[in-house]
Amino acid sequence: MARVQAPLTRPDGDESTATLRAPVTLPAPGGPRHDRPSGPTAGSAWLLGLVVPAALVAAWAVASGAGWISPRILPPPGEVLDAAWRFAFGSDTRSLPGVVPFEGAGGRHVAASLRRWVVAYLLALGVGIPLGLGLGLSPWCRRLLDPLVQALRSIPVTAWLPISLAWFGLGEGSARSLVFLGAVFPVVVATADASSRVPATLVETARMLGTPRRALARRVYVPAALPGIVTGMRLGLTLGWMSVIVGELTGQREGVGAMMFAARAAVQIDQILVGMATFAVIGLLGDLLLRAMTRPLIRWSDA
Amino acid sequence: MTDDSPLSRRRFLGLAAAGAGAIALGACGDDEGDAASTGTSPTSTSSGAGTATTGARTPSFDGVTVTTAVYARNHASSPLFWQRFAPEGLTVEVIPITSGTEANQAMEAGDLDFALMGPYNSLIEAEQGFGSRIVSMLSRQGIGLIAGADAGISSVADLAGKRIAVPPPGVQVLVLTSLLEEVGLTLDRDVTSVPLGYADHAAALERGDVDAYMGTEPPCTTSIVSGAGVRVPGVYDTAIGDFNTALWVRPGLQEDGDLIAAVVAMQRDAAELLTPGGRNDPDVWRQLLVEEFEYEVPVYEEVLANIGAEWRFGDDRKAAMEAAAELMLRSGVLTTEPDLDRLYLLDFLPEE
Amino acid sequence: MSSALAVDRLRRSFGPVEVIAGISLDVPDETVVAVLGPSGCGKSTLLRLLAGLDEPDGGTILERGRKVVGPSPLRPMVAQGATLFPWATVRANLEWGPRMLGRPDPAAVADELLEATGLTGFAAALPRQLSGGMRQRAAIAQVLAVQPPLLLLDEPFGALDAQTRLRMHEWLRSLLAARPTSVLLVTHDVDEALLLADRLVLLSSRPATIAFELDVGLGDDRGRATLVDPRFVALKADVLDRVLAG
């Protein structure tokens, strides 16, 4: 263990006082370290992350204003912002069923995409974690399934689209199967890897402490592999979200990707950019949420 | 989690659990169930040219749903109006698609009951044993040969030595091949073709990546309105005419004369609403293109001259299909002469 | 006196490499036996066999007359390095065994051991927040929580600095004094062996056989002062000679 600033860590010269009822405060992760260049303080760090995007938007505004970029290739930021506003808060006055709406339809599109994402992602976890544990813990299972998993995971989600449409038809089944395929492999691979690396001494200790063999997966392997599993979960979440747009090539009227394809057909570039920004923001928020939810589970492994 | 069609979920879980199992569950209804509630009430059936042609018997469509497809925000969108003219009890569900192949597959699988298709895709699929059949026309025009404003192209002959963006095979490619043939040019010998999807044509021309493109609406009009391009005339003067898309019915429904007659009548009513007597009604198109699809007003005003809804499928259309087949045979796309009569199921077309 | 563990002509090879070539030894009840030997001689292999984590090619291991099959709470081993569950608090680590075995009141067992190991203030801490010495004490307390008749220790203090190690030796002596537990300790540290063990077994280099056995006989009151006791110094010189002679 590195000699860090952990208030609990006392040199062993203090053994006699080690019994002191020290208030137990856990060291904050990401604190200053001696062996790294000092970074910005936590308060200003997120602001710093906005500098480059802000500069890019400013350059975009200047280039558009000066007429260096054709609005058919990249509309000015004000137009995109206006489209974003209409997408989120405009009034949806459409009356024809079957039209893929834009104005005022942000909530509906986002809700539809989120639903696809969450449902398929939960299924990916439900399949991916047990399968990964099987691959990681059972040599038999690994020999049987690992070559297949390794081969399938190299297939891009887009390549699954035709076969998915043939199997599931136009509609939600195809959409979810594609998002599932995007999300499941990182989860499987990370879970298999992490569970196969659980130190043997931990398992042996658990056995010597009377842990029943059938409880080892739940009591030892899963908790010990959790940091790796969570990494796979984060990757799967992001890749699943990236697959939502492919999933919305399946005859969907609702969904951020469905809106983008409709806008693309009619050369409505401002709407496409709004869709991209929506993907970026929701993907970021989803990852932040997953990190916040999983952090308490893996705090023990913080470096 | 709210749901959605139990059918598609069942299919989905089938795969997740077993791998490939539940494929052939067939049937329609993969949808969110909101279509039924949004349709205009069936009382509007009274408009148009009267009752269906199936005789005195009034068929019942209680609880029947027909599924069809359109390209999102495309001019060939008359099915969006079907519900207004639907007989009582019939629900129309319109699904946005992005390619003709998708429509074919979905019709073969039974996910779509009716779909739109141009001559090229239909002939290719027919040769491969596709069992769907034409029941009426759906749209005309809607294509364009657009040259860069300063590319020095004012006629097809000027394309010699130029780069032209060509979409995936479809009616545009047939028309372009015919046009070039007429002036003695051959694609990829005298003209360089750049394969590019419809949606990317306008940007490619704007950037100067190509000198011209053979595209669809609305990208064509977008280029005109922005000043980046000009129309090269003559695209409707080939033997294909202004054939754009026809309406097809999937194999399993071809015995259901009542349903086909009802759908063809809805298409007739929708086409007559948009294009009464063969002339576009600007107000109805405005509602569709500006209010529903959010086209910019100048694009709407300009595009109106190059689109049209259609339902009649007369000898002129059959001649166009023959011309398409002949061209495709000659260029080796088709290897056997298609039996065109087998493709037509036109008994349900209403009288004029 | 009965034997907590009786080992008879134990043999183990890995492929062509013979690691243990016929070792017989006895761990009497409530006795600390130290197995001393050059590094790589097979000490850890021997301990894994005794713990039931590995199977011998020949010979027998009897635990109170019963053949050893698999790992058991009756003779847990503390391996080199920390064997605490890193995601569990110190308290949860200590309660692990009693809980798994369905013993009554695991919390009370943990309380008593936290007190005995001086870790009461760190009950809610995670293993990584402890110093090396604290972690090692917690790891020993974790297995003592199942009240094993025999404890197997593999270089338990090898990673600690000399001063801390000495403090650990004193602590372990006092801890064991209050418990009816036999210990088999594997070490390469002669001081450690002489401070902790009642009996000392010296292994030859690989393949390991017993080169020499010795009753330490330094009494029960051993600690830092023992290090300068002339009897200790003489004994250490003798043992070192034998160790270095191989």
**How many angstroms separate the first and last alpha carbons of chain C?**
32
For residue B37, the chain A residue with the least C-alpha distance is: A97
Classify residue A139 by burial, with Cβ atoms within 10 Å: 0-12, 13-18, 19+. Answer: exposed
Percent of chain A exceeding pLDDT 70 equals 85
Give the pLDDT of residue C12: 87
Per-residue pLDDT averaged across B220-237, rounded? 94
Q: Are strands B212-216 and B192-195 parallel, antiparallel or unpaired?
A: unpaired
Q: Does A265 touch chain B (CB under 8 A)?
A: yes
Give the pLDDT of residue A42: 63
Give the pLDDT of residue B7: 39
Per-residue pLDDT averaged across B61-75, rounded? 91
Alpha helices in chain C (DSSP H): 43-51, 90-100, 106-117, 132-144, 162-177, 190-196, 230-245
Per-residue pLDDT averaged across C180-203, rounded? 87
**Vertex A298 angle, CA A294 and A299, to 5°:** 110
- Contact (CB<8Å) A263/B73: yes
Lowest mean pLDDT among A59-73, A243-257, B65-79: A59-73
- Contact (CB<8Å) A19/C118: yes
Q: Show residues of chain A in contact with B23, CB under 8 Å.
A: 166-167
Strand ranges in B206-346 using DSSP code E only, listed in sequence order:
212-216, 229-231, 243-249, 307-309
Classify residue B218 by burial, with Cβ atoms within 10 Å: 0-12, 13-18, 19+. Answer: buried
Q: Does A197 touch chain C (CB under 8 A)?
A: no
Q: Show residues of chain A in contact with C72, CB under 8 Å.
A: 208
Q: Show residues of chain B in contact with A263, CB under 8 Å.
A: 73
- Contact (CB<8Å) A166/B109: yes
Asked whether B and A share 3 or more beta-carbon pairs under 8 angstroms, the answer is yes
DSSP string covering C34-103: EEE--TTSSHHHHHHHHHTSS--SEEEEEETTEE--S--TTS-EE-SS--S-TTS-HHHHHHHHHHHTT-
Lowest mean pLDDT among A175-179, B264-268, B346-350: B346-350
Percent of chain B exceeding pLDDT 70 equals 84
Place of tokens 């136009």: A170
Cβ within 8 Å of residue A20, ≥6 positions away: C121
C155 dihedral zone (left: phi>0; alpha: psi -120 to 50; beta): left
CA distance C75 to C87: 24
CA distance B185 to B189: 8
Give the pLDDT of residue B232: 95
Mean pLDDT of chain B: 82
Give the pLDDT of residue A41: 64
pLDDT at residue C2 above 70?
A: no
Residue A239 pLDDT level (bands cut at 50, 70, 90): very high
Asked whether C and B share 3 or more beta-carbon pairs under 8 angstroms, the answer is no
Nearest to B8 among A93, A100, A172 (CB): A172
A237 dihedral zone (left: phi>0; alpha: psi -120 to 50; beta): alpha
Which B-chain residues 126-155 have CB contacts (< 8 A) with chain A?
none
CA distance B139 to B307: 8
pLDDT at residue B44 above 50?
A: no
Shortest Cα–Cα distance, A57 to chain B (Å): 21
Nearest to C83 among A20, A205, A212 (CB): A205
**How many angstroms separate the first and last alpha carbons of chain A?**
9
pLDDT at residue A179 above 90?
A: yes
Q: Show residues of chain B in contact with A166, CB under 8 Å.
A: 23, 105, 109
Beta carbons of B313 and B138 less than 8 angstroms apart: no
For residue C97, the chain A residue with the least C-alpha distance is: A209
For residue A5, the chain C residue with the least C-alpha distance is: C129
Q: Does A220 touch chain C (CB under 8 A)?
A: yes
Which of B111, B133, B213 is CA-nearest to residue B166? B213
pLDDT at residue B19 above 80?
A: no
Cis peptide before B218 (omega within 30 of 0): yes
CA distance B184 to B191: 11
φ, ψ dihedrals at B289, nearest 5°: -80, -40
Q: Show residues of chain B in contact with A173, CB under 8 Å.
A: 5, 7-9, 11-12, 30
Give the pLDDT of residue B272: 95
Give the pLDDT of residue A233: 95
Lowest mean pLDDT among A107-111, A285-289, B101-105: B101-105
Asked whether A and C share 3 or more beta-carbon pairs under 8 angstroms, the answer is yes
Nearest to A99 among B8, B20, B292 (CB): B292
- Contact (CB<8Å) C134/A18: yes
For residue C71, the chain A residue with the least C-alpha distance is: A208
How large is the angle between the packed helices B119-127 and B171-182, nearest 10 degrees? 110
Shortest Cα–Cα distance, C87 to chain A (Å): 5
Q: Which two tokens stand for residue B183?
A: 């002036």
Residue C63 pLDDT level (bands cut at 50, 70, 90): confident
- Contact (CB<8Å) A172/B12: yes
Percent of chain C exceeding pLDDT 70 equals 98
The 10s digit of each residue's pLDDT in B261-301 is: 999 999 999 999 999 988 999 999 999 999 899 999 999 99
Q: Which two tokens stand for residue B260?
A: 């086909």
Lowest mean pLDDT among A39-43, A58-62, A254-258, B188-192: A39-43
Q: How far is CA C138 from CA C89, C117, C130, in A?
A: 11, 7, 9
Give the pLDDT of residue A89: 92
Cβ within 8 Å of residue B54, ≥6 positions away: B257, B258, B261, B348
Higher pLDDT, C196 or C220: C196
pLDDT at residue B13 above 80?
A: no
The 10s digit of each residue's pLDDT in A140-160 is: 999 999 999 999 999 999 999
Give the pLDDT of residue B11: 40
Per-residue pLDDT averaged across B220-247, rounded? 94
- Contact (CB<8Å) A165/B293: no
**Vertex B97 angle, CA B94 and B102, to 5°:** 120
Mean pLDDT of chain A: 84
Classify residue A176 by burial, with Cβ atoms within 10 Å: 0-12, 13-18, 19+. Answer: buried
Cis peptide before C207 (omega within 30 of 0): yes
Please tell me the number of Cα atoms within 13 Å of C24 on its side-chain side. 3
pTM given for the model:
0.79
Q: Show residues of chain C in contact with A12, CB under 8 Å.
A: 131-134, 160-161, 163-164, 167
Residue A38 pLDDT level (bands cut at 50, 70, 90): low
**Vertex C119 angle, CA C113 and C124, to 5°:** 105
The 10s digit of each residue's pLDDT in A222-237 is: 999 999 999 999 999 9
**For residues A33-63, b (16+ Cβ closer than 10 Å) or e, as one string?**
eeeeeeeeeeeeeeeeeeeeeeeeeeebeee
- Contact (CB<8Å) C101/A208: no
